[in-house]
């Protein structure tokens, strides 16, 4: 895990221990996957539908939105965090609910937040079927709020994406992220605003725009790109790259004794990430275990399906990179540096 992230106040390992405790208390060994599974009764033609549910928030990226007084895209982040997890299980998102807790109901701000949620649902082709807005002045400051989302999708049981589907020789396809997405912001804020004293309006030459524009880029929603691949049964497994970066999330999409070997340099890394590494004096391990490094989704594909996957992604105007392969061995995720003469 990232030592820098822990120093910034986030202990990922403590979160894993909580997950273990919940697994023991509930008796549900499936907890910890990208989405939760609930099987329904088989239909009359032999399908075995499964509901796949996911819930998430936006994290301390909200504090950037609050400081910048820009709330119109944070709802897209919320939807993306939930529906992308469902996609990673092989399910098509169907509906979404949101929860907004706040210290004071500023109608213009609430409207902007919910407009983002609606826009995210439209991008994900899901229905916003309800939600809850709770005003709690003793819980939150008058200017603060928190967001949570809940998404449900459906898949046939035989079509669910599982680590067991992966084999040595499979190919890693990376779908580019839209910057930082919604993860690592406690470390981002620590570097930019605590270790240093940059204003949100500060412009770095390598970014070409101010920090608030960069940091509030909405998380990309991958429904249009991934669902056609699911319908064609072209994917072995998928990792949604969120907290824990490539190292933790790709490991969740692999079976034991296999490793995802990434070819460093085979895809572009957004400039905000090396900038943060330089300003925060982060190690390579810190960066790889905290940020998405420019890949929001990693698709694991059998070699015989590679051409069809590439053709489908091109038809959707989805950029993609062949970023590595699956090999025998451990640890679950490794990085192969480019060789220079």
pLDDT value for 252:
94
- Predicted confidence band of residue 337 (pLDDT cuts 50, 70, 90): confident
Please say if the pLDDT value at position 340 is more than 80.
no
Per-residue CA distances from 38 to 53, 54, 86, 97, 152 (Å)? 8, 11, 13, 18, 10
pLDDT value for 248:
94
Q: Cα separation of 205 and 175, whole Å?
A: 26
Mean pLDDT of 78-97: 97
Q: Cα separation of 96 and 79, whole Å?
A: 8
Mean pLDDT of 188-213: 97
Mean pLDDT of 31-60: 83
Q: What is the dihedral of CA 318, 321, 323, 328, to 10 degrees?
A: 60
Reported as type and span, the H/E element at residue 266 is none
pLDDT in tens, 151-179: 999 999 999 999 999 999 999 999 999 99
Q: Cα separation of 304 and 171, whole Å?
A: 10
Q: Are 8 and 290 in contact (CB under 8 A)?
A: no
pTM of the model: 0.89
pLDDT value for 46:
64
pLDDT value for 15:
47
Mean pLDDT of the chain: 91
pLDDT value for 20:
55
pLDDT in tens, 209-258: 999 999 999 999 999 999 999 999 999 999 999 999 999 999 999 999 99
Please say if the pLDDT value at position 1 is more than 80.
no
Q: Are 240 and 314 in contact (CB under 8 A)?
A: no
Q: Cα separation of 185 and 162, whole Å?
A: 29
* Domains of the chain with bracketed CATH: 33-160 (3.30.1330.10), 164-336 (3.90.650.10)
φ and ψ at 148, to 5 degrees? -140, 150
pLDDT in tens, 296-319: 999 999 999 999 999 999 999 999
Nearest to 71 by CA among 122, 146, 177: 146
pLDDT in tens, 3-40: 765 565 555 554 445 445 544 544 655 555 567 888 88
Please say if the pLDDT value at position 43 is more than 50.
yes
């Amino acid at each position: 895990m990232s030592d820098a992230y822990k120093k910034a106040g986030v202990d990922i390992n403590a979160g894993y221990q909580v997950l273990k405790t919940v697994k023991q208390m509930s008796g549900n060994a499936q907890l910890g996957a990208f989405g939760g599974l609930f099987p329904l009764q088989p239909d009359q033609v032999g399908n075995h539908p499964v509901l796949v549910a996911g819930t998430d928030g936006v994290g301390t990226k909200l504090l950037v939105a609050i400081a910048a007084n820009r709330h119109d895209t944070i709802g897209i982040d919320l939807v993306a965090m939930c529906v992308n997890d469902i996609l990673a299980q092989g399910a098509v998102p169907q509906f979404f609910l949101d929860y907004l807790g706040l210290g004071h109901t500023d109608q213009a701000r609430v409207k902007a937040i919910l407009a983002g949620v609606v826009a995210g649902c439209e991008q994900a082709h899901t229905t916003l079927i309800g939600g809850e807005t709770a005003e709690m002045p003793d819980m939150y400051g008058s200017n603060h709020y928190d967001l949570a989302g809940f998404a449900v999708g459906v898949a046939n049981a035989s079509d669910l994406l599982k680590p067991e589907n992966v084999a040595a020789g499979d190919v890693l396809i990376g779908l580019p992220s839209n910057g930082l997405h919604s993860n690592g912001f406690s470390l981002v804020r620590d570097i930019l605003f605590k270790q240093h004293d940059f204003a949100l309006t500060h412009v770095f030459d390598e970014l070409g725009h101010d920090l608030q524009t960069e940091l509030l880029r909405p998380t990309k929603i991958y429904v249009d790109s991934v669902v056609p691949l699911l319908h064609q049964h072209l994917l072995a497994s998928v990792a949604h790259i969120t907290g824990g970066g490539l190292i933790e999330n790709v490991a969740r999409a692999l079976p034991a004794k296999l490793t995802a070997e990434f070819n460093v340099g085979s895809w572009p890394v957004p400039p905000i990430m090396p900038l943060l590494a330089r300003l925060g004096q982060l190690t390579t391990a810190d960066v790889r275990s905290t940020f998405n490094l420019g890949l929001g989704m990693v698709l694991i594909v059998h070699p015989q399906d590679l051409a069809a996957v590439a053709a489908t992604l091109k038809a959707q105007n989805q950029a993609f990179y062949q970023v590595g392969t699956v090999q025998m061995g451990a640890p679950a995720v490794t990085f192969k540096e480019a060789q220079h003469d």
